[in-house]
């Protein structure tokens, strides 16, 4: 797949032409610059992909255009200019005061909403391969919408304070938190920054019969809640079939739910803290090796109290392990100033750099 490196020139939304032909022309320019670039070998061998960007002014009407790729609809781009086949996304700037929501998959942005709408109702349930992102907007402060293109469709969207800002990858959610502004993160592992894809773990429900955790060499790889009628095919979906991987199963009774999250502090002596889930019946799901429990300096810390109903938490996925949790409930940590994880995507980094090129 051809992926553009971001051009040095910024294209403002007022003058940006978001037709397919215009974006393909930018792709051709990128190919030309790559061919003549002195470091083209390094560009092609790099594992990082970056994209062409276009900046849109949210104080003016915003237009969009969509396209079809592999039988799915994608947003091709946004502009302050009404081009052919464009549809009006936002007519009044004040509609942007309630945040920006968008849904994407591994190929691009599928839907976008400025404030809550019919689009965001789809974020209340999981859809395979779909990830939701929320960005807060403040109408009292000047900001811009900066979107990234691969030359055919939109790949990402950032709310920035200036046209030159380049943000780190945003958190993406399989199920959008009901209170996205209240989200805080718990880092479990010092070896790497947290992955920015977060799966939801439902912590209560009449149909939930138990929980499973996949471990590999004491590293937590995945969490799963089991429901009535579920067969065992889940265990053969590729999450736990690595050599030496182990599944732990924790059954729950009717009306039993996870309502506290604890951790066994092992850092800085070890790389990773161990996760514990406590139910309202005082039973504990210990997710990890327990050899350190007898040590006199063992520290157990309650980090979250899941009081909201339905109760849930989010865990980082699509990486080498669950190295980060996310909550929208009250933070119970002793040190609330603990450094948050640095979210990153190992395959995609957005940078402003020249020359434009392909990977």
Q: DSSP for 173-213? A: ESS--SSGGG-EEEE-BSSSPPBSEEEEEE---TTEEEEEE
Query: In terms of DSSP bridges, do strands 11-12 and 52-56 run parallel, antiparallel, or are they unpaired?
Result: parallel
Backbone angles phi, psi at 226, to 5 degrees: -90, 145
Asked whether 137 and 98 are in contact (CB, 8 A), the reply is: yes
Report the candidate in 200, 196, 337, 319 with the shortest Cα–Cα distance to residue 258. 200
- Give the span between the Cα atoms of 72 and 353, in whole angstroms: 31
Determine which of 20-29, 165-174, 243-252, 321-330 has the lowest per-residue pLDDT on average: 20-29
For residue 352, is pLDDT > 50?
A: no
Per the prediction, the chain carries an average pLDDT of 76
* Domains of the chain from N-terminus onward: 11-169 (no CATH), 180-327 (2.100.10.30)
For range 309-314, the mean pLDDT = 88
In the chain, the percentage of residues whose pLDDT exceeds 70 is: 68
Q: What is the pLDDT of residue 210?
A: 94
- pLDDT over 90 (residue 104): yes
Q: Could you give the residue ranges of the DSSP H alpha helices within the chain?
A: 20-36, 40-45
How large is the average pLDDT for residues 97-117? 85
Q: Which pLDDT band holds residue 349 (cuts at 50, 70, 90)?
A: very low
CB contact burial 240-260 (16+ within 10 A = b; e otherwise): beeeebeeeebebeeeebbbb
Query: For the purposes of burial, counting CB atoms within 10 Å of the CB of 13, is it exposed (0-12), middle (13-18) or buried (19 or more)?
Result: buried
Residue 291, token pair as written in the block = 């050899």
């Amino acid at each position: 797949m051809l992926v553009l490196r971001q051009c040095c020139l910024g294209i403002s939304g007022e003058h940006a032409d978001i037709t397919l032909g215009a974006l393909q022309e930018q792709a051709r320019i990128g190919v030309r610059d790559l061919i003549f670039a002195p470091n083209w070998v390094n560009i092609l061998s790099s594992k990082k992909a970056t994209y062409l960007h276009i900046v849109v002014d949210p104080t003016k009407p915003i237009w969009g255009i969509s396209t079809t790729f592999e039988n799915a609809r994608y947003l091709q781009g946004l502009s302050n200019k009404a081009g052919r086949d464009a549809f009006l996304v936002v007519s009044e700037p004040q509609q942007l005061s309630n945040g920006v929501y968008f849904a994407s998959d591994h190929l691009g942005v599928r839907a976008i909403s400025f404030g809550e709408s019919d689009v965001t109702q789809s974020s209340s349930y999981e859809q395979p391969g779909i990830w939701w992102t929320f960005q807060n907007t403040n109408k009292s402060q000047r900001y811009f919408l900066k979107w990234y293109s691969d030359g055919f469709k939109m790949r990402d969207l950032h709310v920035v304070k200036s046209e030159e800002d380049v943000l780190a990858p945003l958190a993406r959610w399989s199920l959008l938190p009901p209170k996205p502004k209240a989200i805080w993160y718990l880092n479990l592992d010092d070896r790497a920054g947290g992955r920015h894809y977060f799966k939801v773990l439902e912590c209560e429900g009449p149909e939930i019969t138990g929980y499973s955790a996949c471990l590999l060499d004491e590293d937590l790889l995945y969490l799963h809640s089991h429901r009535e009628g579920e067969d065992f095919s889940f265990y053969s979906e590729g999450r736990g079939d690595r050599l030496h991987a182990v599944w732990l199963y924790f059954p729950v009774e009717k009306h039993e739910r996870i309502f506290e999250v604890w951790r066994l502090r092992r850092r800085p002596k070890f790389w990773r803290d161990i996760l514990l889930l406590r139910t309202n019946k005082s039973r504990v799901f210990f997710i990890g090796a327990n050899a350190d429990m007898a040590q006199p300096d063992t520290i157990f810390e309650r980090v979250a109290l899941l009081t909201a109903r339905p109760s849930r938490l989010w865990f980082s996925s699509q990486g080498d392990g669950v190295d980060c949790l996310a909550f929208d409930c009250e933070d119970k940590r002793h040190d609330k100033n603990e450094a948050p994880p640095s979210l990153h995507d190992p395959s995609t980094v957005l940078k402003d750099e020249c020359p434009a090129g392909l990977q």
